[in-house]
Amino acid sequence: MQTDNYWNRAARRRAGRRTILKGMGVASTGAAALALIGCGDDDSGSGSTATAATGTSAATGTTAATQAAQPKVGGTLRWAWQGTPHLDMHQDSISGAQNIVAAAYNRLLRFKDDAQLPEPDLAKTMPEQPDKTTYIFKLQEGVKFHDKAPVNGRVMKASDVAFSLNRARTDSPAFIHRGDLINIDKIEAVDDNTLRITTKTPDAIILSTLAGYQFFVLAEETLNTFPDLKTDKATIGTGGFVVDSAATDTGAILSRHPNYWREGKPYLEKLQQIVIGDQWSQFLAGNLDVCAIAAEIQVGFKSFDDVLADAKIKAYTYEGLSYGSAQGHFMNNGAPPFNDLRVRQAVNLILNRQDNLEYGWPIGAQPSIALGYNQVNAGFGLPEKEVAALPGYRKDKRKEDVADGLALLAAAGYSKDKPLEFEIMAWSVPHRTIGIDEIQLAAEMYQRESGGVMKVSVKGLEWGTWKAAEANHEFQMISSAYSMGVDAHDALVKMYSSTGGRNFAQFKDPAFDAKLEVEKAEFDVEKRKELVKELVRYINDPSRIANAWTGTGPAPAASLATIKNRPTIMDAGKVDQLFYG
């Protein structure tokens, strides 16, 4: 195809420039903001891999140097909660309880601070791997459960871990996360302190998966007394906090676990989760200690510190990476007009990513292809410079890109008199990355940038109708941000594998599926990062371009000035290291 010139040139220029992006902050408090109708925004949710939780470190502005401070004991931390139907995360596809679960339970592994890579939690060290499918875990000794009936504070054994993980993969549709563990062959206790996990095929992702909050460890006998783990009474873990009470309507109260196995921790006396509608006004009023800084609140500011200065509140900011969501325009490749490759290429060239991104993430947005903020910053994404030089992403060559795009459209038979007409679909409620306001802007942008060769209308749908239209591929283009999961691999599987749950484009490429398997079997993280980048380049190749990605951005949060040692509060399992200073 002769009109591919810019793409081809760009492809030749793709060198291995590596910019290691500085790992940024941490954590997240309650999911985004202002969930409407209780279903929350897309990112609040669902599914196996909703929550990556990663690193801590570079704080902005006033937050520096909190790590070194001397921990103080005591105090209550209050944060907002949207409420959750129950606490049995093995059976829960909706988020809401992960902060409670992550505080009350431990898991075999948890997440490191600076990347979405696993580190030991109940495991003493990372496992030995006698072969590519076997993992031997040595467990911490003397780990005690909460002193609640029927477990009554007994010591945890390897069989508890095996039981818990096996329960999570119970072969019933109710156990919604069992798909994550589908590659596991066996989980068994070798002795009281040794656990062996075998996988069906070599699987470099499985340890990250196991570090997720949903794979927590409980005591086997809990289920002899309770039918499930849904209630506060049935929540008996080994974590730093004991659930005193938790209910959908009242919120949850957790208090310090006196026999916690990590010496001297937790520092806080109590955690309180409050069911609340508008977090920000409550935070301003001092009724919450931590609060998400939703995009709506960032409008018109250059930095998160400016946001707080304007609000006249003394607080820290930090960037939460819990949800690695990425935004793009997803085209239905199976139906006109986007079944024409030239049209998809043209969309990629004409799309003005800057406007789109800055609306969704007024502070800190960055371009990205298929990967979320945490994944990019952990080094899985294409280097910043490489992305900035891609056709359609180049700021210095906008005119050329648009001209090329228009040439492609002309070749496909579209002109001002016979414009390319299509419809962008999203949620009918205003929301800066998935809502009706965002698609209005996108529609205007396409029309403006194409000089009227694109004629775009918007379609906002009620939540359930929208989800059904997605599932049944009844759309032309979706503009939305989606959670990209814990690992970069998850993101690619979801969006591009033949059976991916969010493969809206209907991208089907057996060669790509095979490459995904190869990537998944690579245990060397650095090598795997390169493989992921290759996969991203592969899907962004002009000859098979399926979607038009815009990018990703941080999920910032604010905490009142007195909170120190910010961990990944919600679900990295590190709330025990948090203290008031």
Partner 1 sequence: MANYIAGRLLLSSVTIFLVMVIVFVSVRLMPGDIVDQFLQDTGSQPGQAEELRDHLGLNDPLPEQFVRFVGGAVRLDFGESLWTGEEIRGLLIDRMGITFELGALALIMGVVVGIPLGVFSAVKQSTPLDYILRSIAILGISIPYFWIAIVTIAVPAYYWKWAPPIGHVSILTDPIANLEHYLLPAFVLSISLAGATMRMLRATMLEVLRLDFMRTASAKGLSRSVQIRRHALRNALIPVITLIGLRFVFLLSGSAIIEQVYGLPGLGQLLLSSISHRDYQVVQAVTLLVAFIIVLTNLLVDLSYGLIDPRTRIS
Partner 2 sequence: MAVAGQQEIAFPSPQGRNPLRAFVKFARAQPLATFGLLALVVFLFIAAFAPMLTPQDAYQTSVRDALSKPGSEHWFGTDNLGRDVFSRVLLATRFSLFLGAAATVFAIAIYSVLGLVSGYVGGMIDTFLQRLVDAAMAIPFLLFLLLVVTMLGPGFLTIAFVIGLYNGVTNSRVIRGSVLSVKREVYVEAARSVGVPPWRIVVRHVLPNIMATIIIIASLSLGSSILAESSLSFLGYGVPPPDPTWGQMMGAEARPYVTRGPWMAIFPGIALSIVVFSINVLGDGLRDALDPRLRNR
For binding to partner 1 (CB under 8 A), which residues are involved? 36-39, 42, 45-50, 83, 85-86, 91-94, 172-174, 176-177, 179-180, 182, 230, 248-251, 274-278, 280-282, 284-285, 287, 311-313, 462-465, 467-472, 483, 485, 493-494, 497, 499-502
Residue 294 contact among partner 1, partner 2, none, beta carbon within 5 to 8 Å by kind = partner 2
Pairs from 281-284 (Cβ < 8 Å, separation ≥ 24): 282/80, 283/313, 283/315, 283/558, 284/311, 284/313
> Which span sits near partner 2 by CB under 8 A: 5-13, 168-176, 317-325, 459-467?
459-467
Q: How far is the CB of 429 from partner 1 (least distance, A)?
A: 10
Quick check: 422 binds partner 2 (CB under 8 A)? no
Q: Least distance to partner 1 from the beta carbon of 386, Å?
A: 28
**Least CB distance to partner 2 at residue 431 (A):** 7
| H or E element that contains 495 | helix 488-496
In this complex, which beta carbon is closest to partner 2, that of residue 458 or of residue 536?
458
H or E segment at 118? strand 118-120
Which of these segments, 292-300, 418-426, 498-506, 542-550, binds partner 2 (CB under 8 A)? 292-300
Partner that binds at residue 458, options partner 2, partner 1, none, CB closer than 5 to 8 Å by kind: partner 2
Binding positions for partner 2, 165-204, rule CB under 8 A:
none
Position 460 contacts partner 2 (CB under 8 A):
yes
Residue count, binding to partner 2 (CB under 8 A): 35
- Lookup: tokens for 283: 């935070």
CB of 299: closest distance to partner 2 in angstroms? 5
Q: How many other C-beta atoms are found inside a 10 Å radius of the C-beta of residue 185?
A: 11
For residue 137, count CB atoms less than 10 angstroms from its CB and return exposed for 0-12, middle for 13-18, buried for 19 or more. buried
List, in sequence order, every beta strand (DSSP E) within 293-450. 315-320, 325-331, 366-367, 420-427
Token couple for 217: 């460890």
Return the SS3 of 180: helix
- Using CB under 8 A, which of the segments 191-199, 266-274, 437-445, 484-492 binds partner 2? 437-445
313 is an interface residue for partner 2 by CB under 8 A: no
Q: Which is nearer to partner 1, 450 or 497 (CB)?
A: 497
Q: How far is residue 483 from each of residues 49, 103, 325, measured CA to CA in Å?
A: 8, 23, 4
- By a kind-dependent CB cut-off of 5 to 8 A, residue 63 interacts, out of partner 2, partner 1, none, with none
Residue 22 CB neighbours (<10 A): 9
Closest distance of CB 156 from partner 1, Å: 27
CB of 295 to partner 2, least distance (A): 9
Q: Which residues pair with 556 in a beta bridge?
A: 319
Peptide bond into 266 cis (omega under 30): yes
- Selection from partner 2, partner 1, none that 358 binds (CB < 5 to 8 A by kind) is partner 2
CA 570 – CA 566 distance, rounded (Å): 11
Are the beta carbons of 70 and 201 closer than 8 angstroms?
no
What are the φ and ψ backbone dihedral angles of 135, each rounded to 5 degrees? -125, 125
Q: Identify the residue among 370, 458, 484, 516 touching partner 2 (CB under 8 A).
A: 458
* The CA-based dihedral angle spanning residues 19, 22, 28, 33, taken in that order and rounded to the nearest 10 degrees: -60
Among 77, 117, 161, 294, binds partner 2 (CB under 8 A): 294
Q: Cβ of residue 492: shortest distance to partner 1, in angstroms?
A: 12
CB of 394 to partner 1, least distance (A): 33
Question: Would you state the structure tokens that stand for residue 240, as one six-digit string?
Answer: 């730093």
Task: Write down the least CB distance from residue 542 to partner 1, Å.
Answer: 27
Position among 221, 306, 355, 509 found at the interface with partner 2 (CB under 8 A): 355
**Which residue from 16, 300, 499, 511 is in contact with partner 2, where contact means CB under 8 A?**
300
* Distance separating alpha carbons of residues 248 and 82, to the nearest angstrom: 8
Tell me which stretch binds partner 2 (CB under 8 A): 119-127, 165-173, 188-196, 463-471: 463-471
> Considering beta carbons, is residue 377 or 480 the nearer one to partner 1?
480
Please report, as residue ranges, which positions from 13 to 52 form the binding site for partner 2 (by CB under 8 A): 33-34, 36-37
Q: How far apart are CA 468 and CA 474, in angstroms?
A: 8
Under the criterion CB under 8 A, does residue 423 sit at the interface with partner 2?
Answer: no
What residues have CB less than 8 Å from 402, skipping those under 6 apart?
A: 349, 350, 449, 450
Distance separating alpha carbons of residues 369 and 387, to the nearest angstrom: 8
Output the six-digit token pair for 188. 């068994």
| Sign of the CA dihedral running 459, 464, 470, 472 | negative
**Which entry of partner 2, partner 1, none binds 153, CB below 5 to 8 A by partner kind?**
none
| Closer of 161 and 434 to partner 1 (Cβ) | 434
Q: Give the footprint of partner 2 on this chain (CB under 8 A).
A: 33-34, 36-37, 278, 280-281, 284, 294, 296-297, 299-300, 355, 358-359, 427-432, 436-437, 440-441, 444, 458-465
